[in-house]
């Protein structure tokens, strides 16, 4: 990742994201910034949905902040609420999008 892109990605997450704590299976924690909310990719105009139903909530984080994809059952704490990772939906090498459940 170029330094310019890394800086821009960090700036986007800082402006649009929320502070969170990542809880790994090992018991270690990491402070990260995430973007989370409803899965807007499955919401089509006019109520039409040509896809299989997706997760209700998704979370995206910068992969370099954790150094890997999260595993099922690991979790993020955001504003005193725990969000458990269900499934990695996308990993473009820079960010990882995960289906979450509170």
Q: Residue 6 has what pLDDT?
A: 82
Residue 64 resides in a domain = yes
Residue 46 resides in a domain = no
Residue 77 resides in a domain = yes
Residue 32 resides in a domain = yes
pLDDT digits (tens, 9 = 90+) for 36-88: 986 545 544 455 555 555 557 899 999 999 999 999 999 999 999 999 999 99
Number of domains the chain is built from: 1
Residue 45 resides in a domain = no
Instruction: Write out the residue range of the structural domain in which residue 31 sits.
Output: 3-39+54-101
Q: Residue 31 has what pLDDT?
A: 96
Q: What is the CATH number of the domain that holds 30?
A: 2.40.10
Q: Residue 70 has what pLDDT?
A: 97
Which residue in 15, 18, 10 sits closest to 59, CA to CA? 18
Residue 49 resides in a domain = no
Q: Residue 44 has what pLDDT?
A: 47
Beta strands in the chain (DSSP E): 18-23, 29-38, 57-62, 75-78, 81-91, 95-101
Q: Residue 52 has what pLDDT?
A: 52
Residue 47 resides in a domain = no
Q: Higher pLDDT residue, 95 or 53? A: 95
Mean pLDDT throughout 13-42? 88
Please work out, in degrees rounded to the nearest 5, the angle formed at the alpha carbon of residue 53 by the alpha carbons of 82 and 39: 45
Residue 44 resides in a domain = no
Which residue in 55, 62, 66, 59 sits closest to 81, CA to CA? 59
Whether pTM > 0.85 for this model: the answer is no
Q: Residue 38 has what pLDDT?
A: 67
């Amino acid at each position: 990742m170029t330094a310019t892109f890394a800086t821009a990605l960090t700036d986007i997450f800082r402006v649009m994201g929320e502070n969170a704590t990542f809880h790994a299976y090992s018991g270690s924690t990491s402070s990260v910034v995430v973007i989370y909310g409803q899965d807007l990719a499955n919401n089509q105009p006019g109520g039409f949905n040509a896809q299989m139903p997706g997760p209700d909530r998704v979370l995206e984080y910068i992969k370099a902040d954790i150094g890997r994809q999260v595993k099922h059952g690991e979790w993020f704490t955001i504003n005193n609420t725990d969000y458990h990772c269900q499934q990695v939906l996308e990993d473009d090498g820079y960010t990882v999008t995960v289906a979450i459940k509170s």
